[in-house]
Amino acid sequence: MGITGLLPFLEKASSACHLRDLRGKCVAIDTYCWLHRGAFACAERLARGEPTDIHILYCLKYVQLLLSYNIKPILVFDGQHLPAKAATEAKRRENRANARKRGAELLRLGRIDEARSFLRRCVDITHEMALQLIQECRKRGVDCIVAPYEADAQLAYLNRVDIAQYVITEDSDLVLFGCNRILFKLDLTGNGRLVEASKLHLAMGCREDRYRFEKFRYMCILSGCDYLDSLPGIGLAKACKFVLKTEDPDIRRALAKIPAYLNMRQLVVTEDYKDAFLKADATFRHMVVYDPVCRRQTRLSDPDEESTPEQYCCNAGQFLDEAIAFEMAIGNLDPFSLRKLDDWHPDVAGDGEEMSANAKKMRHLSIWRTDYATLKEATKETGTKAHKSSSLTTFVKRTVLKQEENQVELECKETIADVLQGYGIQSDEPSSKRLCHITSDVSSSTTSTSKVALEYRDLEALDVMGQLDQPATPKRKRNPFAISPAKRTLGGKDSPEVLLSPTKITAANRSLLHNVSPVKRIDYSQQRSQGGEVVASGSRFGRLKTAHDKGVVADEPKVISRFFCTKASVKIQTNRLIGSPKKVGSSGADADSLVSPTAIVKELKSKRDAQTLRATAIYLSSPEARLPNRGDRTPEKRRAHTTPGSDKEGIIGQLDSGIATAEEDSNTGLSSSQKENDDFEMLDTMETNSAKQNRSSPRTVRLALFERQVKKPLAQSPNRSDAAEELAIVLDDSSNDGDDGVGKQEIADALKTEAPITTLPSAPSARTATKTLVKSPVKTKARSTCKRPGLSANKRQASKGDSGTGGMTQSRLSMFGFQKKPSMQLNNR
């Protein structure tokens, strides 16, 4: 059960922590947590006894994560149950058995969803699972150890003898077993919360000089722990209050004073409780654990040294025969039946041929090596030098601002490879060159000290570090999609595009999409002809078109929309799009270039060549491919249905695709990206029909679109003046400012989203329009609502909240680091 409410209580003793801060350290892991979480993914299969390895893979993902930060993991598994916990365990088993039975019953009745919820609750982590994981870890040279009893105590032992400097768990008990540094809530991004024993007094509100660890442990036991229920009415808060008040070193006498100190007269502290308390305390201190270095069982701390009477240790486990204890610790035995399941041996394993290859790969010193102690000692003496071979020979000093300690500057040693790797840049050929501690004047350092020949990769490292030291402010935020500026100046065309993950600081008001989008990354401002005349318009459409035109050259991906280009797997290369305006003028390829992606799909469809269609990258990269039941009701068919073959209505028809009005009651599952495709097609068609269309501007077309949407020409609508005016203002305002074409587009998107159409009540400037769109109220009563196939009623409700964000789903927004805003607060107007 752990200690109820301990983690929130420890808030002040904890700090945010990332795995990158643990480089080169050793970490002991409470593997039960991972296995248990992983087993949830395949609960049904496990419950039915079907073979699966999803839970194993889940754990290995974490192992890999640790290894990628050069952290040595030691996986610790639970051993036998303590007699003191037998009752609790029996109860759990019973609960699981019950859940299993009910699950099976429901399954027979065909109520699958309900059955699932029960089958999930009955997942039990068996030693077979543990062994499966242990065997995978052995292949990877990762240490595992099975605790004689509770993994908690084993973890604490490894931490206390400094075999592992950190412990990873979800169980708050670890704190009172006496761990020094515990990482809770570690996720796959490497973030977690670090609780340090040295800060516990902060959480308790105790002066540091008066604090002793016993106080904390007593407090936890009093508040109720696995080995002892609390006195009625005593929780963490009361226990803390009491522990801070009493100064009596004799705990028996102190316990008797609880009712007096806490003003709880009705409370009676029996002799039995005092005994049980001392036993529980001894259990935490003297639990039997395994010492991998001496290969024998021992106690977490010595009862003699702490003069704990033998009688109180009765719950702390018993020693096993030495040989059996060893076999159990390395995982060969089932801890309960002591049956032999495997016969691995650390001393023999290294001799095998395949193992020697692994040993090479093995980057960390195994705790099972007989020379572990001496080697570790050697590592300590020679410092970090011994701890790494080739790639870590060079160190870069940089100062790191630690946020939570009032900006104390700490010096930390990191290698180039470390820095690069930490931000997702693989260093294939680790640089062995020495880097200077200079981040600004790179050129002078390269020239003046001739022995330092900085390479592009090194410069990147410097760049990353420079960016890291730059603090984020409300106005300037870290942009996960920013591209290294070094690339443009130094890398040139042929250097690979490098995303400097969370390092780069850019203006917060600039759309993060700007950097991912193939369209927005186009530097349209440079697209002037030689006379200085602007070739491409500043609008998104203009840029889109220009990009599209350029992309026609064979093998180059064609830009389709914000998110897609014609080759699904090909990354748009900015340098091809930036600064090559010459192709814009060359009209030769232009005619061909105007074949829109939608047209290709259409053509393929007409040929009924489904195979080709599916194989087409366009199709695969389009949202259409992701529609449920895409075989039977594609947008293509709907389009044909709603606008039956009329060429004259072609443009409007295409515009209309993806929009379902209430009257038509047709469905659409199109995302904004797909709509953008349609926008694009609209541009195509416009171009070819330009004579007939009298060269209509995008704005006209969008007004047409708007009219179409409300199903009546705006002229006949009572809202016409307001709505159209506002729309016009919005569109006009944004048309001068090229970069704010986004705002225009967002609005156009918003008009087309599934959610009720919104218009701005009083047209603000386009700049704020983009921002406030989320909050804007529904003024024009929306008549075209959308029903999406496959969405249940409540989900549809939920998706309404996304309206106004240009069709972006919340998950996508949060992917880019946006918080969900309290949207639609003006709804009730």
Partner DNA sequence: GTCACATCGTCGT
Partner DNA sequence: CGATGTGAC
| Token pair for 643 | 């606008």
| 230 binds DNA, rule: CB under 7 A | yes
User: Which range binds DNA by CB under 7 A, 5-13, 417-425, 476-484, 494-502?
Assistant: 5-13
Which residues are within 8 A (CB) of 801 and not within 5 positions of it... i.e. 6 or more apart? 810, 820, 823, 824
C-alpha–C-alpha distance, residues 289 and 163, integer Å: 14
| 106 binds DNA, rule: CB under 7 A | no
C-alpha–C-alpha distance, residues 652 and 654, integer Å: 5
> Which residue lies nearer to DNA by CB, 170 or 722?
170
C-alpha–C-alpha distance, residues 385 and 652, integer Å: 70
User: Which range binds DNA by CB under 7 A, 223-231, 505-513, 768-776, 790-798?
Assistant: 223-231
C-alpha–C-alpha distance, residues 254 and 246, integer Å: 7
Angle between helices 54-68 and 127-139 (to 10 degrees): 40
Number of Cβ within a 10 Å radius of residue 178 = 19
User: Which range binds DNA by CB under 7 A, 168-176, 310-318, 598-606, 656-664?
Assistant: 168-176
Residues between 681 and 720 that touch DNA (CB under 7 A)? none
| 206 binds DNA, rule: CB under 7 A | no
Minimum separation from the CB atom of position 104 to DNA (A): 18
> Which residue lies nearer to DNA by CB, 527 or 671?
671
C-alpha–C-alpha distance, residues 133 and 127, integer Å: 10
Residues between 17 and 36 that touch DNA (CB under 7 A)? 36
Number of Cβ within a 10 Å radius of residue 681 = 21
| 551 binds DNA, rule: CB under 7 A | no
Minimum separation from the CB atom of position 10 to DNA (A): 9
Amino acid in the structure at residue 406: N
Residues in the chain: 829
| 545 binds DNA, rule: CB under 7 A | no
> Which residue lies nearer to DNA by CB, 186 or 824?
186
Which residues are within 8 A (CB) of 440 and not within 5 positions of it... i.e. 6 or more apart? 466
| 8 binds DNA, rule: CB under 7 A | yes
Q: CA 51, 55, 57: angle at the middle one, nearest 5?
A: 100
C-alpha–C-alpha distance, residues 120 and 40, integer Å: 6
| 280 binds DNA, rule: CB under 7 A | no
Question: Do strands 396-402 and 296-299 pair parallel, antiparallel, or not at all (unpaired)?
Answer: unpaired
| 100 binds DNA, rule: CB under 7 A | no
| 2 binds DNA, rule: CB under 7 A | yes
User: Which range binds DNA by CB under 7 A, 228-236, 461-469, 477-485, 788-796?
Assistant: 228-236
> Which residue lies nearer to DNA by CB, 238 or 477?
238
Which residues are within 8 A (CB) of 407 and not within 5 positions of it... i.e. 6 or more apart? 401
Question: Which residue has 């570790």 as its token pair?
Answer: 376
Q: Which of 186, 77, 62 has its CA nearest to residue 129?
A: 77
| Token pair for 179 | 């761990």
**End-to-end Cα, the chain, rounded Å:** 49
Question: Which residue has 């260093």 as its token pair?
Answer: 427
> Which residue lies nearer to DNA by CB, 178 or 346?
178
Minimum separation from the CB atom of position 598 to DNA (A): 27
Question: Do strands 143-146 and 72-77 pair parallel, antiparallel, or not at all (unpaired)?
Answer: parallel
Position among 224, 518, 597, 658 found at the interface with DNA (CB under 7 A): 224
User: Which range binds DNA by CB under 7 A, 14-22, 167-175, 716-724, 733-741?
Assistant: 167-175
Position among 114, 124, 136, 170 found at the interface with DNA (CB under 7 A): 170
> Which residue lies nearer to DNA by CB, 81 or 787?
81
Position among 20, 25, 140, 185 found at the interface with DNA (CB under 7 A): 185
Minimum separation from the CB atom of position 7 to DNA (A): 4
Position among 24, 235, 466, 650 found at the interface with DNA (CB under 7 A): 235
> Which residue lies nearer to DNA by CB, 4 or 495?
4
- Positive/negative CA dihedral, 803, 804, 807, 813: negative
> Which residue lies nearer to DNA by CB, 690 or 797?
797
User: Which range binds DNA by CB under 7 A, 126-134, 209-217, 224-232, 757-765?
Assistant: 224-232
| 236 binds DNA, rule: CB under 7 A | yes
| Token pair for 272 | 């039995």
Minimum separation from the CB atom of position 469 to DNA (A): 32
Question: Which residue has 């104390």 as its token pair?
Answer: 408
Minimum separation from the CB atom of position 421 to DNA (A): 22
Residues between 37 and 96 that touch DNA (CB under 7 A)? 37-38, 40-41, 54, 57-58, 61
| 1 binds DNA, rule: CB under 7 A | yes
> Which residue lies nearer to DNA by CB, 125 or 459?
125
Minimum separation from the CB atom of position 154 to DNA (A): 15
Position among 234, 243, 459, 683 found at the interface with DNA (CB under 7 A): 234
Which residues are within 8 A (CB) of 278 and not within 5 positions of it... i.e. 6 or more apart? 251, 252, 312
User: Which range binds DNA by CB under 7 A, 225-233, 308-316, 386-394, 783-791?
Assistant: 225-233
| 173 binds DNA, rule: CB under 7 A | yes
Minimum separation from the CB atom of position 326 to DNA (A): 27
Minimum separation from the CB atom of position 298 to DNA (A): 24
> Which residue lies nearer to DNA by CB, 229 or 469?
229
C-alpha–C-alpha distance, residues 512 and 479, integer Å: 7
Minimum separation from the CB atom of position 238 to DNA (A): 3
Question: Do strands 505-507 and 476-478 pair parallel, antiparallel, or not at all (unpaired)?
Answer: antiparallel
Q: How many residues bind DNA (CB under 7 A)?
A: 35
215, 236 Cβ separation under 8 angstroms: no
User: Which range binds DNA by CB under 7 A, 140-148, 232-240, 326-334, 696-704?
Assistant: 232-240
> Which residue lies nearer to DNA by CB, 205 or 352?
205
Q: How many CA atoms, within 13 angstroms, populate the side-chain half-sphere of residue 227?
A: 31
What is the DSSP code string of 393-442?
S--EEEEEEEGGGTTEEEEEEE-HHHHHHHTT---SS---S---S-SS-H
Cα separations in angstroms, 484 against 251, 434, 487, 559, 669 = 62, 22, 5, 22, 37
Minimum separation from the CB atom of position 39 to DNA (A): 8
Cα separations in angstroms, 761 against 710, 804, 827 = 18, 14, 12
For residue 483, give the DSSP letter: B
Binding mask 117-156 for DNA (x = CB under 7 A): ---xx-----------------------------------
| Token pair for 498 | 């490098």
| Token pair for 449 | 């000290």
268: helix, coil or strand? coil
> Which residue lies nearer to DNA by CB, 30 or 746?
30
Which residues are within 8 A (CB) of 569 and not within 5 positions of it... i.e. 6 or more apart? 617
C-alpha–C-alpha distance, residues 799 and 381, integer Å: 60
> Which residue lies nearer to DNA by CB, 119 or 288?
119
Q: Which of 650, 766, 665, 671 has its CA nearest to residue 711?
A: 665
Position among 125, 239, 536, 705 found at the interface with DNA (CB under 7 A): 239
> Which residue lies nearer to DNA by CB, 58 or 619?
58
> Which residue lies nearer to DNA by CB, 41 or 714?
41
Minimum separation from the CB atom of position 192 to DNA (A): 11
> Which residue lies nearer to DNA by CB, 182 or 435?
182
Sheet holding 72-77, edge to edge: 14-18, 191-196, 181-184, 166-169, 26-30, 72-77, 143-146
Minimum separation from the CB atom of position 8 to DNA (A): 6
Interface residue list for DNA (CB under 7 A): 1-8, 36-38, 40-41, 54, 57-58, 61, 120-121, 170-173, 185, 224, 226, 230, 232-239
